[in-house]
Chains A and B, each alone.
Chain A
Amino acid sequence: MSDLNVMTAAEMAATKAAVMDQVPGPEIQGQSPLHHADLDSLAKVGPKQGGVHLREHKLLGHLTLRLNPENDDQLAAAERVLGVALPLQPLTSVESGSYSVRWMSPDEWLILVPGLEAFDVESKFRDEMGGHYSLVNSSGGSTVLELSGPDVVELLKRCTSIDLHPKLFPVGKVVSTVFAKSSAIIRRTGEHSFELVIRRSFSDYIWLWLQETSREFGLVVKA
């Protein structure tokens, strides 16, 4: 088998051809998958007290990075771009300023960056990293929900079979799992706060599901 991590100059140049700024110009307004739910208005007129708080982090840059975790050059390149080493331990995540990196599988990471920086980060990766790797901007394919509040664990227990006890699910742990018959990437950001990365096509379903499931606790939408 040939060494996939050694590339000719022509092949290296070819990997840079795929970079495209996916953020449209100011004449086109970006809309999150939950645009129709109008969470901003709900945050103003909806209840202010409740056991579960929901906030959408919309229009973030989602980058899926795949590389060989045994290639030290690529790991070093990723660290130069992100300012922090990729988490190699299963089910862990790291944060570096406004960037956050989630372990998804032994050779895959999901990186969230501010929406307007996605193109810059992607370009940096193309400049820094050589060899056989994949970086895909999947920003349009998913959105991020932040769930918090005193009853958030009770809510999530009704949605997923993952054990959320702090001993087994400490802050920073990230799992990709079945969520309300759909799927979600769940990360614990605090004792009573979680972050969900959900599919665009399932976002309306999950929004309806969360409203229904959180009814007994009271749902507070935050802008």
Chain B
Amino acid sequence: MFHIYCPHCAEYREEEEFHAAGQAHIARPLDPEACSDKEWGEYMFFRKNPRGIHHELWVHAAGCRKFFNITRDTQSYEIKEVYKIGEKPSVVAE
């Protein structure tokens, strides 16, 4: 079980209150009409699956219902950092 710090509630809560919502920082193409099928397909369906540092989007589903980002090590499961939407992560893969 994760013990996750919610940056909006400003305290640690059990993992059962949260849902993972996949990879973070996926930018929607500014002009979808002009995208090739490959570009749009990669935006829609292709996700990273790194071994090590991974930036993820989580939602505090049973609490404040706000989304935020977690930087997590997929190998050790260690949560390196929690930061709000719009903030830049300070822990990044080398």
Contact = CB atoms under 8 A, between A and B. Distances in A.
Interface of A: 90-91, 104-106, 108, 161-162, 175-178, 183
A188 to B, nearest CB: 15
Interface in B3-36: 8-11, 13-14, 16-17
Closest 9 CB pairs of A and B: A105-B64, A161-B14, A178-B62, A90-B10, A90-B9, A176-B63, A178-B16, A183-B62, A106-B8
A19 to B, nearest CB: 25
**Contact-size category for B:** 10 to 19
Interface of B: 8-11, 13-14, 16-17, 62-66
5 contacts: A90-B11, A105-B66, A106-B66, A175-B9, A177-B17
A68 to B, nearest CB: 14
A162 B13 CA distance: 7
A81 B10 CA distance: 28
Contacts of A106: 8, 64, 66
Contacts of B64: 90, 104-106, 108, 176
Nearest to B9: A90
Contacts of A183: 62
Contact of B16 (A90, A161, A175, A176): A161
A144 to B, nearest CB: 18
A66 to B, nearest CB: 11
A108 B47 CA distance: 33
B55 to A, nearest CB: 22
